[in-house]
Amino acid sequence: MSKNFELLQQAEKDQEVFQPPQPLQRPAQSIPATNGAPHRLRLEARTLEESVKLAQRLFILPGTDAPRVVLFTGVNQGGGTSTICACAGDALQTQASGTICLVDGNLRRPSLHTIFGLENRRGLVEALTQPGSIRNCIQQVGNTRIHVLTAGSWGGESYTLLNSEALRTRMGELRREFDYVLVDAPPVNLYADALTLSHYSDGILLVLQAEVTHRESARKAAESIRAAGSRVLGAVLNQRIYPIPQKLYDRL
């Protein structure tokens, strides 16, 4: 899950950029709140800058067309979707005044709780299977405006759980309770979960893995999303290698 990523283009444009392969790097790590300072992710300067740009282009738009509920999904497994979702949420709190909720919709391989250093005993699974306010299953990250609905404990088939009326109800609650909702979902070309969750979002951000995601695979993912009646907001290229040393980039 790379420290380098960028918003490439609106998905309607057929221009994917692929770079040489790069080994997976350590995911973003959380920094606990100290002396009243906000809980933040430990991000390097370039990652932080790109996270802010991503948050601005996705959510801080003029007019009323800016999405409030965005689903993040990859094309390949291990493309860093969870990290990008977490980084976007972390950056969004510096760009907008509203409350933010990150939802771990990847019941197969949940990871948002690890990134933010949270427990995963209660989460989306419990919200879909138990009564009560959804707030009972949501954790606040330190003293920030970021909240996380982790995946929760689930050992069954996610398809059945996500195709329930309870999901519609709970997603409606999240939309009412929070100003922004970011949903982390499994790869769209591998599982139907992302398309199911997309019905309750304002649009989807595709995560492409440099030199791993093929052009046809990306196009197939975009077509599947549109066929499901959802909107592709754009694409992020993850794990891109910058051949110029970081010090030279910093001077540009």
How far apart (Å, rounded) are the C-alpha atoms in residues 74 and 190? 9
How far apart (Å, rounded) are the C-alpha atoms in residues 88 and 76? 20
Nearest to 69 by CA among 191, 205, 164: 205
Q: Residue 35: its pLDDT value, please?
A: 37
How far apart (Å, rounded) are the C-alpha atoms in residues 180 and 58? 11
Range of the domain at 202: 5-251
* CATH code of the domain covering residue 16: 3.40.50.300
Distances in Å between the Cα of 21 and the Cα atoms of 1, 26, 49, 213, 246 are 12, 16, 23, 11, 18
Number of domains composing the chain: 1
Segments of the chain with pLDDT less than 70: 1-47, 62-64, 155-157, 159, 211, 239-252
- For 189, the 3-state DSSP assignment is coil
Joined tokens for residue 164: 């329930």
Q: Residue 189: its pLDDT value, please?
A: 85
CA geometry: angle at 133 spanning 129 and 135, to 5°? 105
Q: Residue 51: its pLDDT value, please?
A: 83
How far apart (Å, rounded) are the C-alpha atoms in residues 177 and 100? 9
